[in-house]
Amino acid sequence: MGYSSAVYRTTKREMDKRRQLVFENQEKRKKIFYNKCPRAQEIEREIASTSIRVAKQVFSGKANVKEQLEKLKNYNLNLQKELSELLVKNGFPENFLEEWYKCNLCKDTGYINGKMCSCMKQLLRDTAYNELNSKSPLSLCDFSTFDVSLYSGEVQMGQKTSPIEKMSKIFEYCKKYAENFSLNSDNLLLRGSTGLGKTHLSLAIAKYVISKGFGVIYFSAPNLVNQLEKERFGDLSDNENTEEILTDCDLLILDDMGTEHNSAYATSAIYNIINTRIMVGKPTIINTNLTISDLQEEYSKRLVSRIMGDFTRLEFVGKDIRQIKKLKGLI
Ligand SMILES: [Zn+2]
């Protein structure tokens, strides 16, 4: 997985901060303990000075160095023992004075024998996702702010159910989808005119799924195409690899598909991302205002047939909720 150098820099800074915090917190704990038990500080100083005495013994060249070293070792062990007993006696855990790492595998260095530790891989991933999601309104929408009562209860001509009934079902479906989300979840196509709540519900799904610990990326199609074209044809000094990250994330939400400017490159990049995700079995949610025949006109046949064959379609109905909210003075 390739990330940009900016992502690497941010991650490195975060790892440095983690390590610094480990030692700062250790110092704080030591102070707390020494205040309560001054003898402990004496012991710590004594332990530190024995290592100097060991070095002196080794370099002195005197006879019976081995015997002297053995003595010092025992002396040191006794001091350690006394320290542990003092900790327990004063109600502290035995490891109270040690370094408390976030990751014990790599001691928060990010590497084990020159290989990147899983904690750093996770942090790189989170950093990249945060950066890609930083331009989207991910934090603004959740299920509790979706108001189904704004949809009409009147059954339209030629329909069997009212918008409020249909939208209640869609709302429940999306909520369950988020609650039960897994890498085996379905792909969804949220289709309907502007202002019917597609973005709101997909962002609510994103927020919920992120809170369950999954890696989610939300992108509007125009922003995605801009980003991919910039990486493909623009300044290549930074080795950003959005296409790879989008293919790899646990859930990809592609909003406003069909509003991006159309180019052969954009169409094929979008197809590649969606197709690869289907092949490796990772869920995608697409929002679009386009009808199926519009989609067929805008995109290649193979992309539309992929979407038709592999996505569960949710048809959003009703009148523009943003207009209704405005009329009611809600926004
Ligand atoms: Zn680690």
Let me know whether 219 and 89 are in one domain: no
Question: Cα of 15 to ligand 1 centre, how many Å?
Answer: 10
Pair 259, 292: CB distance under 8 Å = no
Q: Write the pLDDT tens digit of every residue in 209-244.
A: 888 878 888 888 888 888 888 887 776 555 567 888
Q: Is the pLDDT reported for residue 313 higher than 70?
A: yes
Same domain, 79 and 160: no
Q: 97 and 191: one domain? A: no
Dihedral angle of Cα 135, 136, 139, 140, to the nearest 10 degrees: 120
Q: How far is ligand 1, taken at its centre, from the CA of residue 24, in Å?
A: 19
Q: What is the model's pLDDT at position 324?
A: 72
**Which of 85, 119, 153 finishes a domain?**
119
CA 259 – ligand 1 centroid, Å: 42
Count of domains for the chain: 2
Is residue 273 situated within a structural domain? yes
User: Considering the domain boundaries, does residue 130 fall inside one?
Assistant: no
pLDDT of residue 188 exceeding 90: yes
CA 248 to centroid of ligand 1, rounded, Å: 21
Residue 281 lies in a domain: yes
pLDDT of residue 55 exceeding 60: yes
Do 115 and 151 share a domain, yes or no? no
> Do 179 and 102 reside in the same domain of the chain?
no
DSSP 3-state percent helix, strand, coil across the chain (nearest 5): 60, 10, 30
* More confident: 318 or 179: 179
> How far apart are the C-alpha atoms of 161 and 10, rounded to whole Å?
52
Task: Report if residue 99 sits inside a domain.
Answer: yes
Percentage of the chain modeled with pLDDT above 70: 93
Q: Which residues of 120-132 are buried (b: 16+ CB within 10 A; e: fewer)?
A: beebbbebbbebb
Q: Give the pLDDT score at 141.
A: 79
CA 193 to chain CA centroid, Å, is 31
Q: Which residue has the tokens 């519900």?
A: 201
Q: What domain range is 304 assigned to? A: 135-327
**In this model, does residue 127 exceed pLDDT 90?**
no
Residue 94 domain-assigned?
yes
Same domain? 229 vs 297: yes
What's the gap in Å between 25 CA and the centre of ligand 1? 18
Residue 93 and residue 174 in one domain: no
Are residue 194 and residue 88 in the same domain, yes or no? no
Same domain (yes/no): 280, 147: yes
Query: In this structure, how many other beta carbons lie within 10 angstroms of the beta carbon of residue 167?
Result: 26
| Confidence class for position 63, pLDDT limits 50, 70, 90 | low
Q: Which of 119, 153, 176 is the last residue of a domain?
A: 119
3-state secondary structure of 68: helix
* Tokens matching residue 81: 């023992």
Q: Of 71, 95, 119, which one is at a domain's C-terminal end?
A: 119
Give the tokens for residue 223: 């922003």
Ligand 1 center from residue 250 Cα (angstroms): 22
Cα 247 to averaged position of ligand 1 atoms, centre (Å): 25
What is the DSSP-derived secondary structure letter of residue 280? Answer: H
Indicate if 173 and 247 belong to the same structural domain: yes
Residue 59 lies in a domain: yes
Instruction: Please tell me the distance between residue 107's alpha carbon and the centre of ligand 1 in angstroms.
Output: 6
Residue 24's pLDDT is 96
Identify the bridge partners of residue 217 per DSSP, sorted by sequence position.
252
Same domain, 238 and 314: yes
Tens of pLDDT along 263-310? 888 888 888 999 999 999 999 999 999 998 888 888 888 888 989 999
CA of 29 to the centre of ligand 1 (A): 23
Distance 102 CA to ligand 1 centre (A): 8
* pLDDT, position 214: 83
> C-alpha angle with apex 194: 192 to 195, nearest 5 degrees?
110
Q: How far is the CA of 17 from the centre of ligand 1 (A)?
A: 14
CATH number reported for the structural domain that contains residue 256 in this entry: 3.40.50.300
Residues 110, 147: one domain? no
Q: Are 261 and 222 in contact (CB under 8 A)?
A: yes
Residue 159's region, left for phi above 0, alpha for psi from -120 to 50, else beta, is beta
Alpha helices in 37-117 (DSSP H): 38-60, 65-89
Residue 128 lies in a domain: no
Report yes or no on 127 lying in a domain. Answer: no
